[in-house]
Amino acid sequence: MEKRHEDERYLDELTDVDEKAADGKAQTPQKKERLSMILLCALNVAALVYLVVALHAYFAVKSELKAELSGEAAEPPAPMFFDVTKVNADLTPDLRGVKQPDGMSPDFLRLYAANDDVIGWIRIPDTCIDYPMLKGEDNDYYERRNYYEEHDERGSVWLDYRNPFGPGQALDNVSVVWGHSFSEHDLGFYELEDYLDVDYYKSHPLIETENLYGEVYRWKVFGCMITAVEDQDDNGQIFYYWNTQLAGDEQPAFVEEVYRRSWFRNPMVDVVLGDKLICLSTCTYMLNVGREYHEIRCVLFGRLLRDGESAEVDVSMAYENPSPRMPQLYYDQKGIENPYRATPVFGF
- Tell me phi and psi for residue 44, to 5 degrees: -65, -40
CB 296 within 8 A of CB 246: no
pLDDT means per 10 residues, the chain with 348 residues, are: 36 35 46 56 54 43 38 39 54 60 87 89 92 95 90 92 94 97 75 96 97 95 97 95 95 98 98 97 92 93 97 98 97 96 92
Q: Among candidates 256, 130, 269, 281, which has minimal Cα distance to 193?
A: 281
- The two beta strands, 206-211 and 216-228, are antiparallel
Instruction: Give residue limits of the domains in the chain.
Output: 16-75, 118-334
Q: Do residues 186 and 124 make contact, with C-beta atoms less than 8 angstroms apart?
A: no
Residue 58 neighbours by CB distance under 10 Å? 10
Considering the domain 118-334, what is its CATH architecture? Beta Barrel (2.40)
94: Cβ–Cβ under 8 A, 6 or more apart, which residues? Answer: 113
Distance CA 266, CA 313 (A): 10
pTM for the structure as a whole: 0.74
Return the pLDDT at 86: 56
| pLDDT at residue 348, as a whole number | 83
pLDDT of residue 87: 55
> For position 112, what pLDDT does the model report?
87
